[in-house]
Amino acid sequence: MAYFAKLNGSNIVEQVHVVHDNNASTEQDGIDFLHALYKNNDTWKQTYKDRSQRKNFAGPGHIYDADRDAFLLPKPNFPSWILNEDTGQWEAPVAYPADGTSDKRYHWNEETTSWDLS
């Protein structure tokens, strides 16, 4: 099965559709199939569950970044967080504490740019 993300005019994923491999032997075949099925020219991009391409599996609300050819989650509401270009994931500038478990949880403190015990 192949998966295709429908993008709005701002490159935000609205929904993801499954297309049988018989109709999507290539990305363009899948896009052509969806255009014919829905009788429109919506923008579609293939997304991959195994993250082998385009960094992340797309979901509603994700953003397609054409420059990176990647699906990204919206940036968390923390100005200090940065995008890891290798993984396509937003990361705090300080790693999550190694002792974080189900008994010990931390939350991000943007004011101190550190993890605080919850």
Mean pLDDT score, 103-115: 92
Q: What is the pLDDT of residues 11-70, one digit of tens each?
A: 999 999 999 999 999 999 999 999 999 999 999 999 999 999 999 999 999 999 999 999
The pTM of this model reads 0.86
Structure tokens at 107: 């939350």
pLDDT at 101: 67
Q: So what's the pLDDT on residue 105?
A: 86
CA 69, 72, 74, 80 torsion-angle sign: negative
How far is residue 68's CA from residue 90's CA, in Å, rounded to a whole number? 14
State the average pLDDT over residues 60-82: 97
Delimit the domains of the chain by residue range: 1-72, 75-118
Res 99 pLDDT > 90 = no
Output the CA torsion sign for 93, 68, 5, 12.
Answer: positive
